[in-house]
Structure 1
Amino acid sequence: MPRAPLPAELPTIRDAQGTAWTRWAEQDPDIEMRVVAPNVADPVGRRKFWCRIVTDCGDDPRLQTALAAYLSDFTMVASIRLPHEPATTKQYLMSTLSHVLYFHRRIRACDWHLMDHHSPVAAGGGGWRCCTRTTLMASW
């Protein structure tokens, strides 16, 4: 499993004022995120986020899986863009057109999950792992 401090040991996105992550906090209030090293611009495009859905979303495994897929996409674009332009005031409209996720186990989007992104280039490269503290839950 990737090494990272636990979510309780990290500041919330809202507390990380003055970083590129502040505006993410305002995009979707139903998502709680904690960024590992929010002020560090990793030259190889590695980003780690703890995140979870804070709204009660029931126990339907299909909904939980769909929400986990949404969480994977929510932070992916920042991981791709930031190594290439870490400090910007520009507004971007970016999206992923397709990505494949492999869910290795049943997942609950309301639990904390460590999203481990790796994007060494912005053209065609990428990687992602979603873990609990001890278990790989999903990947692409």
Structure 2
Amino acid sequence: MSSSAGVTSGPAADLMEVLALEERGPDLYVGLTPATTLQRIFGGQVAAQALTAAQATVSADRAVHSLHSYFLRPGDPHEEIRYEVDRIREGRTFSTRRVVARQTRKGADVAIFALTADFTAGERAVVEHSLPMPEVPGPESLPGLAEVIAAHPGRDDASNAISRAVEQRYLSDPYDPEPRLPPDTAFRVWFRVTGRLPDDEAVHAAALTFVSDLTLLSAGLARVGGGWGGSTVGASLDHALWFHRPMRADEWFLYETDSPAAASGRALCFGQVWSADGTHVASVAQEGLIRSLG
């Protein structure tokens, strides 16, 4: 549903194809998954498509300011996803949408994901404050995903497969076997969508939603070290995102993640997002399941 004007080819165009939903009926949209060898759909894709479906039913002068969602079942990458939008509220300055993503399983229609998003026309700020961006090196001199994977062959091919549209620069090794101990438990990555996206705030919000599921649950493993691809597996249970200010997802932004608590096989992870000029643009929260294969 989002415009692809200004996008020619390459990874940015590929991401726009993911976000370009087909309208099947009133408040009903369908999304497809790019060809993949993965057994389940990347959670960030479903969240971004669900937000795109909600955006299609809201006036363009109302931008998303928050979303809250639950991953109910693993998504099948070989089945289309149907996004049903419920127009819960249309207020003077706020609009609320609920989106349920469904797929067919053994002939039955089942829900795999549920999202509630709120949109606002904005108003004059009475108070403004934000977290300062950490003092870190810029992305240009840091290793990218290909270099990280080359140093740890076979450890996390899934990340390589689901993030081809997103450039990444790592400030530390995500597979470092040494546990990260307080107070130095935060993990930081520079991201940007590869190529140029349209000048559409809704597109950049959906793109940030896609990226925000990358590396977030990894914060839950940081205090034991080693990263994914060894003896542990993880799955997102829920995902929340607050959009503080507009940003461009095709320009470098810093994503800092950390996990304040983990228990009973679940880790709570928080994330903060800054644009390259130091503007605090978004906050993220997720609880995820972390299981041992042993």
How high is the TM-score relative to the length of structure 2? 0.42
Matched, 1:9 2:141: yes
Query: How far did 1:124 drift?
Result: 4.9
Q: Structure 1 residues 120, 86: CA separation in 2 closer, same or farther (over 3 Å shift)? A: farther
Distance, in Å, in 1 between the alignment partners of 2:195 and 2:238 is: 26
Distance, in Å, in 1 between the alignment partners of 2:180 and 2:225 is: 11
Contact 1:32 1:52 (8 Å CA) reproduced: yes
2:170 maps to 35
Q: Does the residue aligned with 1:105 lie in a helix, a strand or coil?
A: coil
With 112-121 and 76-85 compared, the bigger mean Cα shift is at: 76-85
Q: Does the residue aligned with 1:25 lie in a helix, a strand or coil?
A: helix
**266, 275, 278: which is aligned to 1:132?**
275
Unaligned runs of 5+ in 2: 1-132, 285-294
Matched, 1:77 2:220: no
Q: Relative contact order, CA 8 A, sep 6+: which one is greater?
A: 1
Matched, 1:117 2:257: yes
CA deviation vs aligned residue, 1:73-107 (integer Å, no higher than 9, x gap): 11212222343352552462522x32322211111
Distance, in Å, in 1 between the alignment partners of 2:213 and 2:255 is: 10
1:25 maps to 160
Q: Does the residue aligned with 2:143 lie in a helix, a strand or coil?
A: coil
Query: How far did 1:22 drift?
Result: 5.8
Contact 2:272 2:280 (8 Å CA) reproduced: yes
Distance, in Å, in 2 between the alignment partners of 1:30 and 1:36 is: 20
Unaligned runs of 5+ in 1: none
With 60-69 and 86-95 compared, the bigger mean Cα shift is at: 86-95
Identity of aligned residues (%): 24
Give the counterpart letter for 1:94 in structure 2: A
Contact 1:117 1:126 (8 Å CA) reproduced: yes
Q: Structure 1 residues 101, 49: CA separation in 2 closer, same or farther (over 3 Å shift)? A: same
How high is the TM-score relative to the length of structure 1? 0.83
Matched, 1:102 2:277: no
Contact 1:33 1:51 (8 Å CA) reproduced: yes
Distance, in Å, in 2 between the alignment partners of 1:116 and 1:11 is: 17
Larger Rg: 2
Contact 1:48 1:116 (8 Å CA) reproduced: yes
Distance, in Å, in 1 between the alignment partners of 2:156 and 2:137 is: 20
Pairwise CA RMSD: 2.4
Q: Does the residue aligned with 1:117 lie in a helix, a strand or coil?
A: strand
Distance, in Å, in 2 between the alignment partners of 1:5 and 1:69 is: 24
Q: Structure 1 residues 128, 100: CA separation in 2 closer, same or farther (over 3 Å shift)? A: same
User: Matched residue pairs, number?
Assistant: 139
